[in-house]
Amino acid sequence: MKSSMNSALNIQTSKANRTIKASRKTLLTALTSFLLLTAVSSRSYAQSLELGLKGGINYMKMGGRSFDNKNYLGAVGGLYGEYHLTSMWGLQAELVFSQVTAKTGDQFNQIFSTIGAVSDQLTTNDYITLPVMVSFRPIPELSILAGAQYGFLFNQTKGLYQSQGMQNYKAFNQNDISIVFGGQLNLNRVKFGLRFVNGLNQLNHYNTTDTWRQYGFQAYLGYRIADIKLKKKKH
């Protein structure tokens, strides 16, 4: 029995690793193609680096049988930077505090009955996230963003398991990789954005009995504090 469980665990882990590797390869290929394309078109464009602040809310849910399949609000806030390669193309990166809230479902105590799982328990996960996205501006007032996001979980709700020795167990994996895409309005110094975040990797730290992935929406307001003009390239 133990051997069968280990084999199943290895298969699930292998599948998850292959999915992450394939996603990374696709993103790397797209980024390389983008850089080659913009290298030519940016020769005569006065490039710039834009820096600013952002804040907003997450409206996220935790997928899996262990949770109640509902969206909850969480806070978002941090810094952003956008490197304008051409008048239409750029790279936007952010360093953001991101809070994701979820609630365990009615089946949680049955799925993990051997370790005293607690149903109907609200959980709060605090991340430092680093999204890196390609920015396309068909018009100056609108940006279309798409890319990848890494999240590091530095604080999480404990006490989801109440068996002896499990009270302080960290139920969620520390690393989260997501695909992000959305739109952004650029109104002079002010920005309004909405994006979708889709988690790729397994967040269940205990085992693979149930797959946990987080996904949902993020809405934010940004404010540009600096726009650094860089030297125009010569022909």
| Residue environment code for 82-110, b if the CB has 16+ CB neighbours within 10 A, otherwise e | bbbbbebbbbbebebbbbbbbbbbebbbe
Nearest by Cα to 52 from 81, 95, 87, 72: 81
Q: What is the pLDDT of residue 209?
A: 83
Q: Phi, psi (5° rounding) for residue 159?
A: 90, 15
The matching CATH number, chosen from 3.30.572.10, 3.40.640.10, 2.40.160.20, 3.40.605.10, for 2-229 is: 2.40.160.20
Q: What is the pLDDT of residue 54?
A: 98
- Contact call for residues 210 and 66 (beta carbons, < 8 A): yes
The span from the CA of 103 to the CA of 171, in Å, is 13
Q: What is the pLDDT of residue 8?
A: 43
Which structure tokens are listed for 186?
Answer: 């650029």
Q: Which helix (H) or strand (E) holds 191?
A: strand 190-199
> Could you tell me the pTM of the whole model?
0.79
146 contact partners, CB below 8 Å, separation of at least 6: 133, 134, 179, 180, 181
29 contact partners, CB below 8 Å, separation of at least 6: none
Residue-by-residue pLDDT tens, the chain, 235 positions: 445 444 544 554 455 456 556 555 655 665 565 555 445 444 556 789 999 999 999 999 999 999 999 999 999 999 999 999 999 999 999 999 999 999 999 999 999 988 999 999 999 999 999 999 999 999 999 999 999 999 999 999 999 999 988 988 999 999 999 999 999 999 999 999 999 999 999 999 998 889 999 999 999 999 999 999 886 655 5
Nearest by Cα to 136 from 96, 173, 84: 84
Q: Quick one: DSSP state of residue 204? A: B
Q: What is the pLDDT of residue 207?
A: 87
- In this structure, the number of other CB atoms found within 10 A of the CB of residue 177 comes to 15
